[in-house]
C-alpha cells in the first residue's frame, strides 16, 4: 500500500476522534472569542472617550501580543495552580481571551474614531442622544473594521489553540502533540491539515460575514 | 479631563503592580531557583535559543527580501498573486505542524529546528515586503524613470527606502514570533529555553517552568523593543506613517 | 528644439493613441499640448523621454533622434515635472532637488550651490527647507520643489505633465505667474501638457490642440482664439473666447488702437492699473469698483489717462469681431 492509501485508511479509522477533537477545538476558540468580544468591543468603544487610557490599554495589549504563547501557558500554570486549575481548559481559555484583546480593542477603537466627523455632526444635528448615535450611526459604520479584528483574532486563536494541547486543553493539537511524541506521521499530517482547514474555513466564513455586515453605502471604500 | 488622566494612571500603575507582584511572588516561592542553581545551563540554553532565532531569522531575511523584490519586478508581476496566496495559505498552517512535519522530513536536531523556524519566518517578511513594494505610488516610479534612474537605482533609492517601514515591520513580527516558536525546538532536539518549559510542564515543576518561560517572554519583549529602535534608524523620516497622519 | 516627425503610437489591440503627429517646438518656447483626456497628449509627451515607445516616425531633439541616445542618458538630459510632483518621500528637499546631479556624480559643493540657486529661483528659502521632508510642505511648495528638481541639471528641454493640475485655483495661478518669470530667466524649450484652455493661453507661445491622437490646430494662442480652424476647436475654446482673448492684450494695445479717456478728477475712489496690465484683469477691476473708470499709469506711476467699460467694449469689437468672422458667439 502506498503512503497515501494508508493515510486514507487511517482517516477512516480515526474519523470519530478527528470530529471530537475538532468540536473541542471549535468550542475552546469559540467560547474564548465570545468572551473576548464581550470585553473588547465595549472597552474599545469606551476608550474613544479617554485618550490617556486608550494609549495605556493599547500598549498593554500589544506587549501581551509579544508574549510567546507557550511561555504564557507556562506562566499561567503556577498562577492558576493556586485555585487548582493549573492545566486544562481554564488556562487555555484565559490565554486565548487575552491574545484576542489587541485585535478586537484596537480595531473597535480605531473604527469608532474614524467615523466621519461630518456624519457624527449630522447625527448630533438630527437630535440623536449619545446612545442612539452610538447604535444607529457609529457602530454600524464601524462594523466592518470591528469584524475584521474579530476575524484576525479567530484565525490567530485557532493556531494558538493547537499549543494549548500541551497543557491538556484538548483540541486538534492533541493529534499533533501525540504525533510528535510517537513520531507518527499520520497523526501529525492529519492534525496539521485539519487545523489549517479550520483556520481557512473560519477566515472565509468570517470574511463573508464581514461583507454582509458592511452597510451597502460603505462597500466601495471598505 | 483630570479624572480621565487619573483613571489612566491608575490602570497603568495597576499593571506595573501586577507585574511586580508576580515577580515578588515567584521569588518567594523560589520559582526562579534554576536561574541561580544552574546558571551555566541557563546561559547555555539562552545561547542556543538566541542561535536558533538568529540563524533562522537571518536566513529568512536573506531569502524573503530578494524573492519579494523578484516577484514585484514587471516581468513577474502577473505571477505575483500566486506567491502571495501561497504565503497567505502557509501562514494558516500552525507553527507546531510545520515543526512536526520537519521531523518526518529531516529528522531530529538543531538543523531541523533552524529550518522549521526559517520556513515559518520567511512568510511574514515576504508578505510585508511585497505589500510595501506594491504600495509605492506608481507616479514615484514614473518620476524616477523620467529623470533617468536605472532600474537598480530606482530599487535602491526609491522603492526599498519607501517600503522600509513595511519591510521592517515584517522582520520585527517574524523575529518576535520566532523567539516564541524557538521554544518548541526542544521537541525536535534543538535545545533552547523550551527545554525547561517543557520539562516543567511534564514534571509539574513550576521552578523549571518559570525559569524557562519568563526569560523567553523577556527575550521576546526585548527583541520587539530593539527592533523598534532599529526601525527608527533604518526607516527614512519622511516615510514613517505618523509623519503623514 | 523638439521636432515631431510624423509620430504614431499604436497600443496593443490596434488602438491609435497618437496618429501621425508632426510639429516643431522652437528653442525657448513653451508649447502647450492641449485637449480633453484621452486625446493622446500625455502619451505624446512621454514619447519624448521614451517612457512610451514610438511606433512610427521620429522625435528629434536639437536635430538628434531620441532613439540614438541611451534612454538613461536621454532622460537625464530632459527635465520632467508631473502633476503629483513625484517628490520622493524618503528624501529631504535638498536630496530631492539634487537627485539628478547625484546620478550624474556631481561633487557635494557643486550640488549644494546648485540647490541654493534653484531654491532661490523658485522662491523658497534654501536653508529653511534643506532638512525638511516633502510631506511637511504644502502642495504649492511641493510643486515648486518639483520644478526646481527638474531644472537641477540645467536640461535644455523640459517636459511638464499638468504640473499645476492638482493645486487649488489661487495657488495654481500664482505658480503659473512665477513659472513664466522663471522661464524668462532660464529660457528652456518646454513641452507642457494641459487640459485647461486658460492655462494654455497663459503659458503657451504655441498651442497644439489635440483630439483622438490627431492635431486639430497648431497655432499661437491668439490665432486659436480668433481663428478656430473647425467646430471642435471653437467648442473647446468656449463661448467666452472673446473674454479669454482679452488676457492676451494689454492696456497699451488698447491705447494704440483707440486711445485712452481723459482723467476726471472729480470721481472718487478710482483705482489705478499699470499700462502693461492685461485687459481681462483691467475689466475685472472695472467691474469690481464703484467708479466707472480706472486710471492708467506707466511703470513710474505717472498717470496717462483712463479706461472705461465702454473703451474695452469698443476695443473688443474692433480687435476681435473684425478679425474673427466665424460666429457671433463672442
> Where are chain C's structural domains?
2-238, 249-323
Radius of gyration of chain A from Cα atoms?
21
**In the β-sheet with C303-308, what is the strand arrangement from edge to edge?**
C272-274, C293-297, C303-308
Dihedral sign for Cα atoms in the order B207, B208, B211, B212: negative
In this prediction, residue C324 carries a pLDDT of 47
In this prediction, residue C274 carries a pLDDT of 85
Judge whether B185 and B52 are in contact, CB under 8 Å: yes
Tell me the per-residue pLDDT of A170-193, one tens digit each, with 9 for 90 and over: 888 898 888 888 878 888 888 888
Quick one: average pLDDT of B74-84? 77
High-pLDDT (> 70) share of chain C, %: 94
Instruction: In whole angstroms, give the CA distance from residue B240 to residue B168.
Output: 11
Q: B139 CA to chain C: closest CA distance, Å?
A: 6
Q: Does domain C249-323 have CATH number 3.40.50.2000?
A: no
Per-residue DSSP letter, A202: H
Tell me the per-residue pLDDT of B89-112, one tens digit each, with 9 for 90 and over: 777 777 777 777 777 777 778 888
Interface test with B, best of A71, A186, A202 (most B CBs within 10 A): A71
Per-residue pLDDT band for C320 (boundaries 50, 70, 90) equals low
Assign a CATH topology to domain B33-244. Answer: MetI-like fold (1.10.3720)
Q: Is the pLDDT of residue C243 over 50?
A: yes
User: Phi and psi at residue C149, in whole multiples of 5°?
Assistant: -65, -40
User: Phi and psi at residue C200, in whole multiples of 5°?
Assistant: -60, -45
Q: Do B97 and A162 touch (CB under 8 A)?
A: yes
Assign a CATH topology to domain A3-216. Answer: MetI-like fold (1.10.3720)
In this prediction, residue C328 carries a pLDDT of 38
Instruction: In whole angstroms, give the CA distance from residue C199 to residue C202.
Output: 5
Query: Across all residues in chain A, what is the average pLDDT?
Result: 85
Residue B241 vs residue C160, higher pLDDT = C160
In three-state form (DSSP H/G/I as H, E/B as E, the rest C), the secondary structure along C121-190 is HCCCCHHHHCCCCHHHCCHHHHHHHHHHHHHCCCCCEEEEECCCCCCCHHHHHHHHHHHHHHHHHHCCEE
Partners of residue B85 in chain A, C-beta under 8 Å: none
Q: Does C84 touch chain B (CB under 8 A)?
A: yes
Q: C158 CA to chain B: closest CA distance, Å?
A: 11
Residue A221 vs residue C87, higher pLDDT = C87
Dihedral sign for Cα atoms in the order A95, A96, A98, A102: positive
**In this predicted structure, which of A14-18, A198-202, B52-56 has the lowest mean pLDDT?**
A14-18
In this prediction, residue C235 carries a pLDDT of 85
Quick one: average pLDDT of A95-113? 90
Measured between CA atoms, the residue of chain B closest to residue A176 is B97
In this prediction, residue C329 carries a pLDDT of 38
Per-residue pLDDT band for C321 (boundaries 50, 70, 90) equals low
Q: A122 CA to chain B: closest CA distance, Å?
A: 24
Q: Does A61 touch chain B (CB under 8 A)?
A: no
Q: Is the pLDDT of residue C109 over 90?
A: yes
> For chain B, which residues lie within 8 Å of any Cβ of chain C, measuring from their own Cβ?
137, 139-140, 142-150, 153, 157-158, 161-162, 164, 236-239, 243-244
Q: Residue B40's CB: how many other CB atoms inside 10 A? A: 8
High-pLDDT (> 90) share of chain C, %: 43
Q: Do A70 and B183 touch (CB under 8 A)?
A: yes
Q: Is the pLDDT of residue C330 over 50?
A: no
Q: Does C267 touch chain B (CB under 8 A)?
A: no
Per-residue pLDDT band for C96 (boundaries 50, 70, 90) equals very high
In this prediction, residue A1 carries a pLDDT of 64
Q: Which of residues 43-82 of C touch B (CB under 8 A)?
A: 49, 51, 71-78, 80, 82
Domain positions in chain A: 3-216
Q: Which residues have a Cβ under 8 Å from the Cβ of A63 and sit 6 or more positions away?
A: B221
Quick one: average pLDDT of B211-237? 90
Q: B68 CA to chain A: closest CA distance, Å?
A: 24
In this prediction, residue C294 carries a pLDDT of 85
Instruction: In whole angstroms, give the CA distance from residue A60 to residue C143.
Output: 43
Per-residue DSSP letter, C63: T
Strands C189-194 and C157-161: parallel
User: Phi and psi at residue C153, in whole multiples of 5°?
Assistant: -95, 20
Judge whether B147 and C80 are in contact, CB under 8 Å: yes
Q: Burial letters for A64-87: b for 16+ Cβ neighbours within 10 Å, e otherwise? A: ebbbbbbbbbbbbbbbbeeeebbb
Task: List chains adjacent to chain B, taking adjacency as at least 3 C-beta pairs closer than 8 Å.
Answer: A, C
Domain positions in chain B: 1-30, 33-244
Judge whether B210 and B218 are in contact, CB under 8 Å: no
**pTM given for the model:** 0.79
Q: Residue B106's CB: how many other CB atoms inside 10 A? A: 15
Nearest to C240, CA basis, from C138, C320, C329, C163: C329
According to DSSP, the residues that pair with C43 across neighbouring strands are none
The helix/strand/coil state of B165 is helix
How many alpha carbons lie under 13 Å from residue B92 in its C-beta half-sphere? 20
In this prediction, residue A127 carries a pLDDT of 77
Tell me the per-residue pLDDT of A37-84, one tens digit each, with 9 for 90 and over: 999 999 999 898 888 888 889 888 888 888 888 888 888 888 887 787
Per-residue pLDDT band for C322 (boundaries 50, 70, 90) equals low
Tell me the per-residue pLDDT of C8-54, one tens digit each, with 9 for 90 and over: 999 887 788 999 999 999 999 999 999 888 889 999 999 999 999 99
Residue C325 vs residue C12, higher pLDDT = C12
Q: Does C328 touch chain B (CB under 8 A)?
A: no
Tell me the per-residue pLDDT of B144-172, one tens digit each, with 9 for 90 and over: 999 899 999 999 999 999 999 999 999 99
Q: Do B148 and C86 touch (CB under 8 A)?
A: no
Query: Across all residues in chain C, what is the average pLDDT?
Result: 86
Partners of residue B139 in chain C, C-beta under 8 Å: 82-84, 86
CA-to-CA separations, C16 to A179, B235, C42, C67, in angstroms, rounded: 65, 44, 14, 21
Partners of residue C91 in chain B, C-beta under 8 Å: 161, 236, 238
Q: Which residues have a Cβ under 8 Å from the Cβ of C155 and sit 6 or more positions away?
A: C76, C77, C78, C79, C188
Which listed CATH number (3.30.9.10, 3.40.50.300, 3.40.50.150, 3.50.50.60) goes with C2-238? 3.40.50.300
Which helix (DSSP H) or strand (DSSP E) does residue C296 occupy? strand C293-297
Nearest to B193, CA basis, from A166, A71, A67: A71
Nearest to B147, CA basis, from C326, C86, A13, C121: C86
Q: Do B146 and C72 touch (CB under 8 A)?
A: no
Amino acid at each position: 500500500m502506498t503512503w497515501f492509501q494508508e493515510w486514507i485508511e487511517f482517516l477512516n479509522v480515526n474519523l470519530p476522534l478527528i470530529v471530537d477533537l475538532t468540536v473541542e477545538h471549535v468550542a475552546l476558540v469559540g467560547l474564548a472569542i465570545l468572551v473576548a468580544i464581550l470585553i473588547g468591543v465595549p472597552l474599545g468603544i469606551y476608550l474613544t472617550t479617554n485618550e490617556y487610557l486608550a494609549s495605556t490599554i493599547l500598549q498593554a495589549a500589544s506587549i501581551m501580543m509579544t508574549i510567546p504563547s507557550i511561555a504564557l501557558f507556562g506562566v499561567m500554570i503556577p498562577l492558576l495552580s493556586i485555585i487548582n486549575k493549573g492545566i486544562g481548559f481554564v488556562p487555555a481559555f484565559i490565554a486565548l481571551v487575552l491574545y484576542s484583546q489587541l485585535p478586537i480593542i484596537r480595531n473597535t477603537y480605531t473604527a469608532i474614531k474614524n467615523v466621519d466627523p461630518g456624519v457624527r455632526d449630522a447625527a448630533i444635528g438630527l437630535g440623536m442622544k449619545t446612545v442612539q448615535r452610538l447604535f444607529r450611526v457609529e457602530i454600524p459604520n464601524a462594523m466592518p473594521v470591528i469584524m475584521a479584528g474579530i476575524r484576525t483574532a479567530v484565525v490567530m486563536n485557532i493556531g494558538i489553540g493547537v499549543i494549548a494541547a500541551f497543557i491538556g486543553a484538548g483540541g486538534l493539537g492533541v493529534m499533533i502533540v501525540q504525533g510528535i511524541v510517537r513520531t507518527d506521521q499520520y497523526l501529525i499530517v492529519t492534525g496539521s491539515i485539519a487545523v489549517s482547514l479550520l483556520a481557512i474555513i473560519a477566515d472565509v466564513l468570517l470574511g463573508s460575514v464581514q461583507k454582509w455586515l458592511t452597510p451597502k453605502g460603505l462597500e466601495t471604500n471598505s | 479631563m483630570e479624572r480621565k488622566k487619573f483613571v489612566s494612571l491608575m490602570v497603568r500603575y495597576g499593571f506595573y503592580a501586577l507585574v511586580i507582584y508576580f515577580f515578588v511572588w515567584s521569588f518567594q516561592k523560589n520559582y526562579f531557583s534554576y536561574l541561580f542553581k544552574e546558571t551555566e545551563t541557563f546561559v547555555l540554553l539562552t545561547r542556543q535559543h538566541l542561535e536558533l532565532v538568529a540563524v533562522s531569522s537571518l536566513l529568512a531575511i536573506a531569502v524573503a527580501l530578494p524573492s519579494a523584490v523578484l516577484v514585484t519586478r514587471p516581468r513577474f508581476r502577473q505571477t505575483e498573486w500566486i506567491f502571495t496566496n501561497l504565503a497567505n495559505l502557509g501562514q494558516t498552517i500552525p507553527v507546531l505542524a510545520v515543526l512536526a512535519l520537519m521531523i518526518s522530513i529531516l529528522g531530529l536536531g538543531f538543523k531541523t529546528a533552524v529550518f522549521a523556524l526559517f520556513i515559518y519566518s520567511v512568510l511574514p517578511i515576504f508578505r510585508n515586503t511585497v505589500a510595501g513594494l506594491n504600495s509605492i505610488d506608481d507616479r514615484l516610479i514614473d518620476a524616477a524613470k523620467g529623470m533617468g534612474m536605472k532600474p537598480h537605482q530606482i530599487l535602491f533609492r526609491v522603492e526599498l527606502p519607501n517600503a522600509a517601514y513595511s519591510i521592517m515591520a515584517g522582520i520585527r513580527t517574524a523575529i518576535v514570533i520566532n523567539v516564541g516558536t524557538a521554544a518548541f525546538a526542544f521537541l525536535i532536539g534543538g535545545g533552547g529555553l523550551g527545554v525547561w518549559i517543557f520539562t516543567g510542564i511534564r514534571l509539574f515543576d513550576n521552578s523549571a517552568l518559570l525559569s524557562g518561560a519568563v526569560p523567553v517572554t523577556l527575550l521576546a519583549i526585548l527583541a520587539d523593543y530593539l527592533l523598534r529602535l532599529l526601525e527608527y534608524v533604518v526607516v527614512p523620516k519622511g516615510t514613517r506613517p505618523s509623519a503623514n497622519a | 528644439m523638439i521636432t515631431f516627425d510624423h509620430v504614431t503610437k499604436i497600443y496593443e489591440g490596434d488602438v491609435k493613441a497618437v496618429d501621425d503627429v508632426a510639429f516643431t517646438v522652437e528653442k525657448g518656447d513653451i508649447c502647450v499640448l492641449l485637449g480633453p483626456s484621452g486625446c493622446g497628449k500625455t502619451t505624446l509627451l512621454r514619447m519624448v523621454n521614451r517612457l512610451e515607445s514610438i511606433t512610427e516616425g521620429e522625435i528629434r531633439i536639437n536635430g538628434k533622434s531620441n532613439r540614438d541616445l541611451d534612454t538613461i542618458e536621454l532622460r537625464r538630459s530632459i527635465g520632467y515635472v508631473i502633476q503629483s510632483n513625484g517628490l520622493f518621500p524618503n528624501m529631504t528637499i535638498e536630496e530631492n532637488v539634487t537627485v539628478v546631479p547625484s546620478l550624474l556624480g556631481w561633487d557635494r559643493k557643486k550640488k549644494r550651490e546648485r540647490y541654493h540657486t534653484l531654491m532661490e529661483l523658485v522662491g523658497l528659502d534654501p536653508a529653511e527647507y534643506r532638512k525638511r521632508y516633502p510631506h511637511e510642505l504644502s502642495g504649492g511648495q511641493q510643486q515648486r520643489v518639483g520644478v526646481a528638481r527638474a531644472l537641477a541639471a540645467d536640461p535644455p528641454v523640459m517636459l511638464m505633465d499638468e504640473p499645476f493640475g492638482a493645486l487649488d485655483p489661487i495657488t495654481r495661478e500664482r505658480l503659473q505667474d512665477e513659472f513664466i518669470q522663471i522661464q524668462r530667466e532660464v529660457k528652456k524649450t518646454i513641452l507642457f501638457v494641459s487640459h485647461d484652455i486658460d492655462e494654455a493661453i497663459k503659458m503657451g507661445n504655441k498651442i497644439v490642440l489635440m483630439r483622438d491622437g490627431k492635431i486639430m490646430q497648431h497655432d499661437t494662442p491668439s490665432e486659436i482664439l480668433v481663428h478656430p480652424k473647425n467646430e471642435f476647436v471653437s467648442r473647446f475654446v468656449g463661448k467666452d473666447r472673446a473674454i479669454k482673448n482679452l488676457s492676451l492684450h494689454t492696456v497699451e494695445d488698447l491705447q494704440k488702437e483707440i486711445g485712452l479717456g481723459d482723467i476726471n478728477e472729480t470721481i472718487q475712489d478710482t483705482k489705478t492699473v499699470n499700462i502693461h496690465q492685461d485687459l481681462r484683469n483691467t475689466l475685472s477691476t472695472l467691474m469690481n469698483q464703484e467708479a466707472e473708470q480706472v486710471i492708467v499709469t506707466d511703470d513710474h506711476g505717472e498717470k496717462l489717462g483712463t479706461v472705461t467699460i465702454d473703451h474695452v467694449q469698443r476695443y473688443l469689437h474692433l480687435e476681435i469681431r473684425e478679425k474673427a468672422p466665424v460666429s457671433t458667439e463672442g
